[in-house]
Amino acid sequence: MKRKVTKAIFPVAGMGTRFLPATKSVPKEIMTLVDRPLIQYAIDEARAAGIKEFIFVTSRGKGALEDYFDHAPQLEQELRKKGKTELLDIVKSTNMESGAIAYIRQHKALGLGHAVWCARRLIADEPFAVILPDDVIAADKPCLQQMVEAYAETGGNMVAAMEVAPESTSAYGVLDVADDMGALVKVRGMVEKPPVDKAPSNLAVIGRYILSPDVLCNLNKIKSGAGGEIQLTDAIAAEIAQNRGVYGYRFRGQRFDCGSKSGFLQATVAFGLAREDLRDDLSKYLRDIVHMDQAAE
C-alpha cells in the first residue's frame, strides 16, 4: 500500500545574491509577487496537495521568514477593531499552527541534495515532497496536487518536468527517457546540467519532487557532483540503478523562474493580469508602454 505524502521540504537557505541589495536584509523567499511573498505561493500549493508538515531548511539571516508564519495578535486586533474583516481573513490565512512548521539549519551551502539530507531525521521512513519556492507555477490545479494524484498510481519517485529549448538544457537537470507515456515518462537516467551536445533530451526537471525515503539513504553515500555540490539529481538517479521507479511528470501550468530578475518580473505581470482588481489598470499601462515604444521606432 502506497503511503500518503504529508511532509514537504522547502530548501530556503540560499543567500539570494541575484537580488542584492534587496536580499541584504530581506530573505528572497519573502520578496512579494504582487502582494504575497514567494514562500506563500509554495505553502498554498503544498496545502492543496494534502501536505500537513512543513520543513524549512534555512540558514543564518532567515528570521523574517520564520516571523512571517507566526501569529500577529496586535495586527489582527487592529484590523478587527477597524472592521477590516477581509484583510483580517487574509492575515489569518498566513498563520501556521504550532508544530506544523519545523526549521532546520544548513550550516554550509553544499547544494540541494545536502539541503534535503539535512531534514532526514524529520522525514524518517516516509515519502516526502520537495518544493523549490523559486519555481512559481501558475496552474488551475496546483502542480504538486497534480503530481500527488499521479503518484497514487505509480509510487516510486516523481519529478516535475517540462520541455525547454535545447540550448537551455545546460541550466537544468535533464531526463533520459525510457518510455514516454504522455503526461508521465519512465526515466532511464538523469544528468545534472549537461553540456548542450550531451543532453539526453530537452525534458528538464523543475522544482517539484515526490521522493522515496531511500533517496535520503542515497544522499548519505554521495560525494559532491556537478558544481562541487551534493546533487539531488544524483541521489534520484541512484534509485534507477537499484530498479526503483523514477518518473517525470509533465505538469499542466506555466512555470516562472523567480530566482532570476527577468522571471520575477514576468511572473509579476502574469499574476497581476490574472487579478480582477488589477487587470484593467495594468493592461492599460502595458498597452500604453507598447504604443510608446512603437511610436519611438
Within a domain: 179: yes
280 and 230 within one domain: no
Within a domain: 241: yes
For the domain that residue 76 is a member of, what is the CATH number? 3.90.550.10
280 and 137 within one domain: no
58 and 11 within one domain: yes
Within a domain: 2: no
129 and 30 within one domain: yes
As to burial, measured by CB atoms within 10 angstroms (0-12 exposed, 13-18 middle, 19+ buried), residue 219 is buried
Domain range enclosing 274: 264-297
Structural domain tally of the chain? Answer: 2
The closest alpha carbon to 106, from 98, 95, 93, 116, belongs to: 116
Within a domain: 242: yes
Within a domain: 50: yes
294 and 246 within one domain: no
HEC string of the chain equals CCCCCCEEEEECCCCCHHHCCHHHCCCHHHCEECCEEHHHHHHHHHHHCCCCEEEEEECCCCHHHHHHCCCCHHHHHHHHHCCCHHHHHHHHHCCCCCCCEEEEECCCCCCHHHHHHHCHHHHCCCCEEEECCCEEEECCCCHHHHHHHHHHHHCCEEEEEEECCHHHHHHCEEEEEEEECCCEEEEEEEEECCCHHHCCCCEEEEEEEEECCHHHHHHHHCCCCHHHCCCHHHHHHHHHHCCCCEEEEECCCEEEECCCHHHHHHHHHHHHHCCHHHHHHHHHHHHHHHHHHHHHC
238 and 285 within one domain: no
276 and 136 within one domain: no
Within a domain: 78: yes
143 and 66 within one domain: yes
255 and 224 within one domain: yes
Within a domain: 185: yes
279 and 248 within one domain: no
Identify the pLDDT of residue 2: 66
171 and 195 within one domain: yes
Within a domain: 234: yes
195 and 128 within one domain: yes
User: pTM of the prediction?
Assistant: 0.88
pLDDT in tens, the chain (297 residues): 567 899 999 998 887 788 888 888 888 888 899 989 999 999 999 999 999 999 999 888 777 777 888 778 888 888 888 888 888 888 887 777 767 888 888 887 778 888 998 888 899 889 999 999 999 999 999 999 999 999 988 888 999 999 998 888 888 888 988 888 889 989 988 888 888 888 888 899 999 999 998 888 888 776 655 556 778 888 888 888 877 889 999 999 999 999 999 999 999 999 999 999 999 999 999 988 888 766 666
Identify the pLDDT of residue 9: 95
